[in-house]
Structure 1
Amino acid sequence: MTTLTIAAAQSISIAGDLAANMAWHQRFMQVAAEQGVQLLVFPELSLTGYERGLAAELAIAPGADVLQPLRDFAREVGVTSVVGMPIRLSDDSPVLIGALVLGADGSLGVYSKQHLHPGEEVAFAPGAGGSTLKIGSDTVALAVCADFSHASHAAAAALQGADLYAAGVLITENGYAPDTALLQGYACTHSMAVLMANHGGATGGWESAGRSAIWAADGMLIVAAPGTGNLMVVARRNADGWKGQIVAVAEA
């Protein structure tokens, strides 16, 4: 079994402030690099906050110049980073909930949320998903929040050969128990590790539960954040199995 180090970035988003959120993302990416992380996954709409009312104004093309500094930084520190952003695939296309894969090799991948949560249709259209990605010898399938509430989504990831199912989410306290039970169940059912990156604080009028977590392919909980706050949830795999760690992320 090859070594692998993955992490959930439990970041706190500042409503609508792309510049400030990019600075925080760079801080997380720097800390991830110091920890030897190969794949870092941020929460749903992490770069803007879960701000449905601002989405149309903030939406960008995935390859927009405004994100180039973040792409460059991912390449510089060598950490493939999945960041959340409202996107438009063309000037006149609808707004999608995007998860952009900023590759350690400078590449750009685009995933768009396929299954909307009730109420999201006022600001967003359903997306088309996206391709799996390779981290070393492992295949990673992405999900954004309500995607994983559909068992068919995780099943499709498994059919694509996913070793890891990685979801950027916004989960509140009321939803935490049923949602994490689903994710843990997918790990067992499909024999794939599961990563869940939740917001570290309130966003868009919702109080996030935090407690981002990573499960092994047998459903065993490797590591979970103890609560909310700017934290990185790290899981390392070697020949002896998985080990977890929580790393606090402070402002630079």
Structure 2
Amino acid sequence: MDEKKNITIALAQISVMDGDLEYNLKKHCAVIEATGKHHSNYVIFPELSLTGYELERSDQLAFSYEDERLIQIRSCCITNNINAVVGVPVRFGKDIMICSLIFFKDGTFELYTKHFLYPGEEQYFIPGNLDPKIIEKNEIFSFAICADTNNPIHRSNAYSTNTSVYITSALLSDNGYANDTKVLQHTAKKYNMTVFMANYCGETGGYKAAGGSCAWNSSGELIGKMDSNTEGILLIECTDTREWSLDKIIAF
């Protein structure tokens, strides 16, 4: 890696096969491997990326956070020297939460739980309150999952903990994309945070995803964006503290 680079974050824009864990696990590992070849520090996947946006089958598809099936992801991160944020439904006793599992390249992990559910999700999931902050060099990372970003409490809480990088795993449909990304852009500018959003392309859970995974700098200016249909990775690099720029877009 170029020593001048501080951090590189990759947004993985993918399609998945709803409920097909074997296929989706293989795809995640392939994306992690491809991203690792470009010396990224982190790769961010969309909401519930391992299962697809499957609500009615959430009980059947839920993982424990120490599930043996996740060893594939952990091993892939170690082998490729990269951290990955993966969308997973996780069971806690009788309850299930929508989570981002943050796999680190040293084999450890952290767990973020979705705080604010989208209407209809409460039939299958409960909200959580796990909210890890990751310090990466001179940056403080906070995480969000889709509807979290539309709640002003979530955004202000991130700001109050000195977040400089706000990372969102999402499922944004064609109908909601314009409004939701407007909120994210406003968040970047108002709170002086660099904002990342990883979205699906294709269909999942009955929704046509809008693609358009993108990032804004702390002035609310667009750094880079993918198109609506292409699977691939969007790489954003930081060469100096909080100075982020587009590295490249790689289509699969």
- Alignment-derived partner of residue 15 in structure 1: 18
Is structure 2 residue 71 aligned with structure 1 residue 68?
Answer: yes
Between the two proteins, what is the percent identity of the paired residues?
32
- Alignment-derived partner of residue 230 in structure 1: 231
Q: Is the 1:232–1:247 contact (alpha carbons within 8 Å) kept by the matching residues of 2?
A: yes
Is structure 2 residue 191 aligned with structure 1 residue 190?
Answer: yes
Give 1:47 shift: 0.2
- Alignment-derived partner of residue 39 in structure 1: 42
TM-score, scaled relative to structure 2: 0.94
For residues 40-63 of structure 1, give each alpha carbon's deviation from its aligned partner in whole angstroms, at most 9, with x where no partner exists.
110000000001011110111111
Q: Letter of the aligned partner of 1:114 in structure 2?
A: H
Give 1:2 shift: 6.6
- Secondary structure of 1:95's counterpart equals strand
Give 1:17 shift: 0.9
User: Distance in 2 between the 1:198 and 1:116 partners?
Assistant: 17
Give 1:129 shift: 3.3
Q: Would you identify which runs of 4 or more consecutive aligned residues in structure 1 move more than 6 Å?
A: none
User: Distance in 1 between the 2:165 and 2:40 partners?
Assistant: 15
Is structure 2 residue 166 aligned with structure 1 residue 165?
Answer: yes
What is the aligned length?
247
User: Distance in 1 between the 2:184 and 2:69 partners?
Assistant: 33
Is structure 2 residue 58 aligned with structure 1 residue 55?
Answer: yes
Q: Letter of the aligned partner of 1:41 in structure 2?
A: I
Pairwise mapping of residues 72-221 of structure 1 onto structure 2 (< 5 A)? 72-89=75-92, 92-221=93-222
User: Distance in 2 between the 1:199 and 1:166 partners?
Assistant: 15
Q: Is the 1:43–1:83 contact (alpha carbons within 8 Å) kept by the matching residues of 2?
A: yes
Alpha-carbon distance change, 2 to 229 in structure 1, aligned in 2, over 3 angstroms: closer
User: Distance in 2 between the 1:87 and 1:239 partners?
Assistant: 36
Pairwise mapping of residues 236-247 of structure 1 onto structure 2 (< 5 A)? 236-239=237-240, 241-244=243-246, 245-247=248-250
User: Distance in 2 between the 1:220 and 1:51 partners?
Assistant: 33
User: RMSD between aligned alpha carbons?
Assistant: 1.5
Specify every segment of 5 or more residues in structure 1 that has no aligned partner in the other structure, as ranges: none
TM-score, scaled relative to structure 1: 0.94
User: Distance in 2 between the 1:25 and 1:166 partners?
Assistant: 18
Q: Is the 2:29–2:72 contact (alpha carbons within 8 Å) kept by the matching residues of 1?
A: no
